[in-house]
Amino acid sequence: MIKHQKPAAFYDTFERKEPEAVSTHYCPGCGHGTVHKLIAEAVDDLGIKDRVIFHSPVGCSVFAYYYFDTGNIQCSHGRAPAVATGVRRVHKDAIVISYQGDGDLAGIGTSEIIHAANRGENITVFFVNNAIYGMTGGQMAPTTLQGQKTLTTPTGRDAGRDGLPIGMAEIINAVSSPVYIERVTLSSAKGVLKTRKAVRKGLKYQVEGRGFSFIEILSPCPVNWKMTPVESRQWMSDKLEPVFPVTCFRDAGSTGNPIDSRLDVHKAIASEEIPFMNDKELITLLNGDSPIPNIEILQLEEDQLVKIAGFGGQGVLSCGTLLAKCGIAEGIHASWLPSYGPEMRGGKAYASVILSNDEIGSPVIDDPNVLLAMNGPSLDAFENDVVPGGLIVVNSSIITRKVFRDDVAVLYIPATDIAAGEDLVAAANVILLTVYLRYKRVMPIETLKKIIPVSVNRKEFVAANLRIVDKALEYYETISQL
Amino acid sequence: MSRILMKGNEAVIHGALTGGATHFFGYPITPASEIAQAAAKYFTASGRTFLQAESEIAAINMIYGASSAGARTMTATSGPGLSLMAEGLSYLAGAELPAVVVDVQRAGPGLGNIWPEQSDYNATVKGGGHGNYSNIVFAPNSAQEMCDMTRKAFSLTDTYRMTAIILSDAYIGQMMEPVDIPETVISGERKEWAVYGDAKSRGNLITSILMKPLEMSNHNEHLQHKYRQLEEDCVEYEEYGTEDADIVMTAFGICSRLCHTVTMIMRKEGYKVGFFRPKTLFPFPGKAIKRLAEMNKTLAVVELNTGMMADDVELSVHGCSEILRYNWLGGIVPTVKELAERVAADLKKSGKSRKGGNV
């Protein structure tokens, strides 16, 4: 039975509208007032007034916060489901209502409503469909009927130009996650009673934590339809309802409904919730489990401007981080700049690592004094950039040509072959790095050996990497004696 | 405290979590994606919330919701995503909601490319969306600052009820450097204006609509007053060698790293070159820049855009001093050598080419 006193979820007077106001801003015969009242009554009956956070849209109901004595958020056009998602993720116990019109939800906001539905957000959406843009004065809505005259369809909506009216409940019904989808109508007293039930059900399901409810309410707009309130109700049942069938599309709460299994999914998600870490736990998490050891304070003879280049997958970037971490362990300054994005996916990778006694300014290396070339294209690309007197370490397993320059030191190391001998082809990068550090005596090789265990991601490869370092040193001894 | 080698983008999340952030909403975009990835890892593991939104529009509106609900919340993006967030940024400003947005700048306009530019200067420092508003804009130039400025931003954004933007770039975001992880967490407190879905906050309304012109005008005046207060309280910059300099290289972000190196090299060679870096772009260190101009320093503004900050420098000095504009576009970053030659040439041209400055 519909009550006649003002629900407690409404303000006594609408002070946000103007002092002492008792009437709404809605036009005579408009359906919003009815929907507002049905919601307010349901909020009263469920005893959830303090918990409600009401999201008003852009459109005629933009001022819903004039009336609802609840928490209120006014949202940008079409985005209420995203805003409601943000609120939902902060307050698990709040009752989150998104109230939207047809321009807001079915036009500008289709993306937000579909994805909020698909995430199964535990919110209730009231979609008031009156087949026209009311607030802006009567332009075409996505739900405007074929042939219907509006300010932007003066000769009537033309399906050939504008498409046909869009059924949002049907679209939401194509999404698996929602628990309750129903279309109701305000065209008759009976329809209003059914709407009252649907509004309650949508809110009750949220209180019970069941998930996403979507209630589409066909609603009259006599002023913009240019009809009397009575005519407009007749038009709804004659014209609107045949296009937008009034029916329950899905109700997970009713017995025997196959969607019931969905409730278990929601429960499963809830049970996996990770506890909120305290400050100490958080700091421990952020510090990670592989701190870089402090070894000694090293003074470099000169800044190391190292370019490491090769195919993607040759460990170019990780070789760079290994070197940078060695620098940090030694107490010197280090920076690492990668190639990134599609360039990487194209298979060309390089990293620029700077080690310096002083604070590092530019992390960009234009003229490296060390080039570790893992493949031919890298040598071609960077050979000429190396400063005179610099060092080029060539992976001679893959690069068949010699270095053209005669003003730089060159070491030819069959790194891929040596690494293959140890069943770890991916560690050819470590071989070039070891030889470079040894040749230039940048830092003790012991530092590298201490950093490998904290730098190699897959712990089962630590031992093999350490073995590779020794192999590299062995090979270096053979060539340095020549 | 431990030092960890990490990308600037990852450092953002370390700063955010130690700055009390609890909710991250994001959408992947190069070169900012590592921020969302690190958030997915660390926000989730620590029982905070990470959610991948369906678009940047949804992400910024989820932030609008989470911030309305009193949470310390953030997102990260790059140019095209920032454009989509423009409306949301305006609503956040209108409703005076705190939020932190990281922009790892790439080249534009349009889809542009993923290499560094600084061409979102106007879109962030001047607001970005419609209406009269400003954001707090930090300009980090290292992985450490990506952490520290993000951490600090959360407190500032709560205090001033404004969006704070961390205006980074592709190099500062992608670069790895050692980062000292902060040892404490600065958590947010309950906000008396936010909606919590409880009796105490039931009367609260989050909105940016003010239908009466006088109310809207007053609200605007209030916002402007807040921005002027920020200019008094929160300007940050650093300078080096400006006292004896003939020319002061003025830059933010990645360009400030280049200018740092150029300054060091040229001073060793005896050139009187100085260096000035705004760490906040809004509020802008206009007074400090004016002081340099009054000392008759030439200001060489180095940017990866068409001279957007140089415009603000010009406004600050009111024609007091010569402003040079060094600009690169499209993802091209000048070499240190190129930049040093340009400075030397301009010093010579201006007849100020005195050597003998101290290092």
Q: Residue B184 is part of a domain; what is its CATH number?
A: 3.40.50.970
Considering the domain boundaries, does residue B358 fall inside one? no
Task: Report how far residue A93's alpha carbon sits from residue A419's, in angstroms, rounded to the nearest whole number.
Answer: 58
Structural domain boundaries, residue A186? 32-271
Task: Verify that A267 and A308 share a domain, yes or no.
Answer: no
Task: Verify that A77 and A141 share a domain, yes or no.
Answer: yes
Q: Where are the beta strands (DSSP E) in A219-359?
A: 248-251, 304-311, 333-338, 348-356
Considering the domain boundaries, does residue B68 fall inside one? yes
Chain B neighbors of A70, CB-CB under 8 A: 202
Q: Exposure string (b/e) for B212-250, b if CB count within 10 Å is 16 or more?
A: eeeeeeeeeeebeeebeebbeebbebebbbbeebbbbbb
Structural domain boundaries, residue B330? 238-349
Chain B neighbors of A73, CB-CB under 8 A: 64-65, 68, 195, 205-207
Minimum distance, in Å, between the CA of residue A11 and any CA atom of chain B: 10
Going edge to edge, which strands form the sheet with B298-303? B237-240, B273-278, B247-250, B298-303, B323-327
Considering the domain boundaries, does residue A394 fall inside one? yes
Which of B233, B257, B274 delimits the end of a domain? B233
Which of B233, B253, B271 delimits the end of a domain? B233
What is the maximum alpha-carbon separation in chain A? 104
Closest residue to A292, CB basis, from B5, B18, B59? B5
In tens digits, what is the pLDDT along chain A, a chain of 482 residues? 555 689 999 999 999 999 999 999 999 999 999 999 999 999 999 999 999 999 999 999 999 999 999 999 999 999 999 999 999 999 999 999 999 999 999 999 999 999 999 999 999 999 999 999 999 999 999 999 999 999 999 999 999 999 999 999 999 999 999 999 999 999 999 999 999 999 999 999 999 999 999 999 999 999 999 999 999 999 999 999 999 999 999 998 664 344 444 555 555 455 568 999 999 999 999 998 777 777 777 889 999 999 999 988 888 999 999 999 999 999 999 999 998 766 555 567 899 999 999 999 999 999 999 999 999 999 999 999 999 999 999 999 999 999 999 999 999 999 999 999 988 888 999 999 999 999 999 999 999 999 999 998 888 899 999 999 999 999 999 988 76
| Residues B111/B80, Cβ–Cβ less than 8 Å | yes
Give me the CATH number covering residue A107. 3.40.50.970
Residue B337 to residue A366, Cβ atoms within 8 A:
yes
Task: Verify that A364 and A462 share a domain, yes or no.
Answer: yes
Task: Verify that A39 and A184 share a domain, yes or no.
Answer: yes
Task: Verify that B113 and B262 share a domain, yes or no.
Answer: no
Task: Verify that B186 and B268 share a domain, yes or no.
Answer: no
The C-alpha angle A334, A339, A345, rounded to 5 degrees, equals: 145
Compute the half-sphere exposure of residue A158: CA atoms within 13 Å on the CB side of its CA.
6
Considering the domain boundaries, does residue A19 fall inside one? no
Task: Verify that A119 and A250 share a domain, yes or no.
Answer: yes
Considering the domain boundaries, does residue B194 fall inside one? yes
| Residues B280/B145, Cβ–Cβ less than 8 Å | no
Minimum distance, in Å, between the CA of residue B351 and any CA atom of chain A: 28
Task: Verify that A209 and A350 share a domain, yes or no.
Answer: no
Task: Verify that A421 and A305 share a domain, yes or no.
Answer: yes
Residue A340 to residue B30, Cβ atoms within 8 A:
yes
Phi-psi region of B42 (alpha: psi -120 to 50; beta: other; left: phi over 0): alpha
CB-based contacts of A460, cutoff 8 Å, min separation 6: none
Minimum distance, in Å, between the CA of residue A285 and any CA atom of chain B: 8
Chain B neighbors of A88, CB-CB under 8 A: 65
Closest residue to B202, CB basis, from A69, A83, A112? A69
| Residues B48/A286, Cβ–Cβ less than 8 Å | no
Which of B233, B249, B268 delimits the end of a domain? B233
Interface of B with A in 20-39 (CB under 8 A): 22-23, 25, 30-31
Going edge to edge, which strands form the sheet with B23-26? B49-52, B23-26, B73-77, B99-105, B163-169, B136-138, B280-282
Residue A482 confidence (pLDDT):
63
Considering the domain boundaries, does residue A279 fall inside one? no
Considering the domain boundaries, does residue B320 fall inside one? yes
Residue B197 to residue A363, Cβ atoms within 8 A:
no
Task: Verify that B189 and B57 share a domain, yes or no.
Answer: yes
Residue B264 to residue A361, Cβ atoms within 8 A:
yes
Task: Verify that B72 and B150 share a domain, yes or no.
Answer: yes
Phi-psi region of B289 (alpha: psi -120 to 50; beta: other; left: phi over 0): alpha
Residue B81 confidence (pLDDT):
98
Minimum distance, in Å, between the CA of residue A133 and any CA atom of chain B: 19
Task: Verify that B252 and B112 share a domain, yes or no.
Answer: no
Residue B181 to residue A325, Cβ atoms within 8 A:
no
Q: Please tell me which residue of chain A has the smallest CA distance to B29.
A: A341
How is residue B266 written in tokens? 């040229």
Minimum distance, in Å, between the CA of residue A476 and any CA atom of chain B: 29
Residue A259 confidence (pLDDT):
47
Considering the domain boundaries, does residue B130 fall inside one? yes
Residue A111 to residue B17, Cβ atoms within 8 A:
no
* Residue B55 contacts A, CB cutoff 8 Å: yes
- Cα of first residue to Cα of last residue in chain A, in angstroms, is 102
Considering the domain boundaries, does residue A172 fall inside one? yes
CB pairs under 8 A between A and B: 240
Q: Which helix (H) or strand (E) holds A429?
A: helix A428-440
Task: Verify that A237 and A381 share a domain, yes or no.
Answer: no
* Residue B177 contacts A, CB cutoff 8 Å: yes
Residue A295 confidence (pLDDT):
76
How is residue B256 written in tokens? 């400030």
* Residue B240 contacts A, CB cutoff 8 Å: no
Give me the CATH number covering residue A438. 3.40.920.10
Minimum distance, in Å, between the CA of residue A455 and any CA atom of chain B: 10
Considering the domain boundaries, does residue B359 fall inside one? no
Chain A neighbors of B204, CB-CB under 8 A: 71-72
Task: Report how far residue B28's alpha carbon sits from residue B6's, in angstroms, rounded to the nearest whole number.
Answer: 19
Q: Which one of A49, A90, A282, A333 makes the best mutation probe of the B interface by having the most chain B beta carbons within 10 Å? A: A90
Closest residue to B197, CB basis, from A53, A55, A282? A53
Which residue is listed with tokens 């989509």? B84
Count of the separate structural domains present in chain A: 2
Task: Verify that A323 and A452 share a domain, yes or no.
Answer: yes
Residue B351 confidence (pLDDT):
78
Chain A neighbors of B87, CB-CB under 8 A: 76
Minimum distance, in Å, between the CA of residue A360 and any CA atom of chain B: 8
Considering the domain boundaries, does residue A277 fall inside one? no
Task: Verify that B276 and B171 share a domain, yes or no.
Answer: no
Considering the domain boundaries, does residue A20 fall inside one? no
Count of the separate structural domains present in chain B: 2
Q: Which segments of chain B have a pLDDT < 70?
A: 1, 353-359
Residue B202 to residue A70, Cβ atoms within 8 A:
yes
Q: Which one of A89, A333, A350, A353 makes the best mutation probe of the B interface by having the most chain B beta carbons within 10 Å? A: A89
Considering the domain boundaries, does residue B309 fall inside one? yes
Considering the domain boundaries, does residue A10 fall inside one? no
Phi-psi region of A182 (alpha: psi -120 to 50; beta: other; left: phi over 0): beta
| Residues B81/B27, Cβ–Cβ less than 8 Å | yes
Residue A463 confidence (pLDDT):
93
Give me the CATH number covering residue B333. 3.40.50.920
Closest residue to B17, CB basis, from A87, A282, A338? A282
Residue A459 confidence (pLDDT):
87
Task: Verify that B257 and B194 share a domain, yes or no.
Answer: no
Considering the domain boundaries, does residue B343 fall inside one? yes
Residue A298 confidence (pLDDT):
80
Task: Verify that B150 and B247 share a domain, yes or no.
Answer: no
Residue A87 to residue B176, Cβ atoms within 8 A:
no
* Residue B198 contacts A, CB cutoff 8 Å: yes
Distances A341 to A134, A337, A344, B29, B330 between C-alpha atoms, Å = 47, 13, 6, 10, 16
Complex ipTM > 0.90: yes
Task: Verify that B208 and B226 share a domain, yes or no.
Answer: yes
Sign of CA dihedral B263, B339, A336, B112: positive
Residue A274 to residue B47, Cβ atoms within 8 A:
yes
Q: Please tell me which residue of chain A has the smallest CA distance to B72.
A: A90
Task: Verify that A467 and A349 share a domain, yes or no.
Answer: yes
